[in-house]
Amino acid sequence: MQFLGRDTNTGGNWTKTYGKEGYDLFEEESNIPEGIEIHYVNGAKKTVKTNYVEVESIKLNYNEATLEKGGTLKLEAEVGPDTATDKTVAWSSSDTNVASVENGMVTAVKGGTAIITACAGKIEASCKITVKVSSEDEAKAEAAKVEELIRKIGTVTTASKADIEAARAAYNALSDAAKKLVTNLRVLESAEKKLDEIINLPTPTKKDIAKAVIKKIPAQLYSGKTLTPDLDITYEGSKLVANKDYNAVYNANKNIGTAKVQINGIGGYTGSATVSFQIKVKKNAVYTVGNYKYKITNASTNGKGSVALTGVKSKSVGKKLKKATVAGTVKIGGAKFNVAEIGSKAFSGCKNVSSVSIGANVAKIGANAFYNCKKLAKITISSKKLKSVGKNALKNISSKAKIKVPKNKQKAYQKLLKGKGQKKSVKITS
């Protein structure tokens, strides 16, 4: 059987669902809350009329009270009107760390203030509870705070000044009784003494890095990358440490020539000093410039140095190369070198090369230099210094090839180039 009831009990705690015509639907008669009257209508439906009485007032026996730590107080609540349906009182504390409450019994936990609230229905009343600690407990608590400030100091440095001063000020503000309870006062006194020693230490005089002994930096080989050789610096026999005693700034330290290092004193050192080192090339070292590889044959870097073009930089470049240019000079690491030689097999197998231009400083063409360059039909020699052409240097070049040489060298070069593997149909002209 189901029951319909109008929703008039806003203070009730039962579960309900809404039925038709604004009535509450109670599934069993036993679930109808206290304070509800039941009237039968037409023998089948039941109309519910409420006589639930709301709480209108609540009064406590104390509005405020003071307790000692550990003390208790029984609060009693008077709920009105007497005819209120539900006089149940719920208790709560604003700070259970100061004072707790259970069924109106208040227990003082520690010093401070807490508000105890009693609630019945929608009505509340409160009592202010102040918890006092004994003078002995208060002294212990204050002493403990100072002890914690002293522990916070830790290892004494100039940065400890604020912590030390804060601990001393807190200690001085204690009562005589509380001061006697501070167990680590000697730690504070020792820290104060140590800080005074640190602050009054004479400022050490910084040493001039220019007076240090800086070992000569050996010449470095050009690599195409910036060079930062290690430094060996001593001061009065003590080895200095990079980025602690000094820092180094390198300049012009990539290309061939003179690089400089500025050494700046830091830490216990001041001032600066400058040293230099040479960047050079080594004979027979090989470098790649553009599409070609060059081997150093004379390592002079004053413009009199020379190189041999030894080949193309890769097989893929060799396959694609159609026009080969052997320049008179090449720059390696910013220094100019004369291209004095075309090395053995330098262009061997470059099957798509159709023309070659040979620069003014070439004095030697190595064996098989242009071997199997089958499409090579035009060779222009600008050099008047050519003295040597290796065996089969021109073997298997185009049978229609023409070699153009300086006019005043035509006879000499015809003789020099004769029988170097080329067909007799290859012509040498000026």
pLDDT for the residue 132:
86
pLDDT digits (tens, 9 = 90+) for 48-71: 545 779 999 999 999 999 998 889
Q: Which residue matches tokens 């930096």? A: 217
Q: How many other β-carbons are positioned within 10 Å of the β-carbon of residue 277? A: 18
Query: For 240-246, which contacts have Cβ atoms below 8 Å and span 24 or more sequence positions?
Result: 240/212, 240/269, 245/209, 245/269, 246/209
Q: Which of 81-85, 270-274, 365-369 has the lowest mean pLDDT?
A: 81-85
Stretch 325-329: mean pLDDT = 97
Q: Is the pLDDT of residue 145 over 60?
A: yes
pLDDT for the residue 24:
45
> Which backbone phi and psi does 408 adopt, to 5 degrees?
-80, 0
Q: How far apart are CA 299 and CA 333, in angstroms?
A: 12
pLDDT digits (tens, 9 = 90+) for 287-324: 999 999 999 999 998 889 999 999 999 999 999 999 99
Confidence label for 134 from pLDDT (cuts 50, 70 and 90): confident
Burial of residue 405 (number of CB atoms within 10 Å: 0-12, 13-18, 19+): buried
Q: How far apart are CA 397 and CA 356, in angstroms?
A: 11
pLDDT for the residue 12:
37
Give the E-state strand segments of 281-334 in sequence order.
Answer: 286-289, 292-298, 306-312, 323-326, 329-332
| CB contact at 8 A, 54 and 121 | yes
pLDDT for the residue 6:
38
In percent, how much of the chain has pLDDT > 70? 88
Q: Which of 83-92, 164-173, 199-208 has the lowest mean pLDDT?
A: 199-208
Among 145, 131, 132, CA closest to 181: 145
Average pLDDT, the chain: 88
Q: Which of 23-32, 108-117, 337-346, 358-367 has the lowest mean pLDDT?
A: 23-32
> Helix, strand or coil for residue 166?
helix
3-state secondary structure 193-214: HHHHHHHCCCCCCCEEHHHCEE
Q: Which of 36-45, 80-89, 178-187, 356-365 has the lowest mean pLDDT?
A: 36-45
Strands 3-6 and 45-50: parallel
pLDDT for the residue 32:
53
Q: Is the pLDDT of residue 100 over 60?
A: yes
Q: How far apart are CA 264 and CA 270, in angstroms?
A: 7
Residues β-bridged to residue 60:
77
Among 137, 134, 171, CA closest to 151: 171
pLDDT digits (tens, 9 = 90+) for 331-357: 999 999 999 999 999 999 899 999 999
**From the centroid of its chain, how far is CA 256?**
37
| CB contact at 8 A, 40 and 72 | no
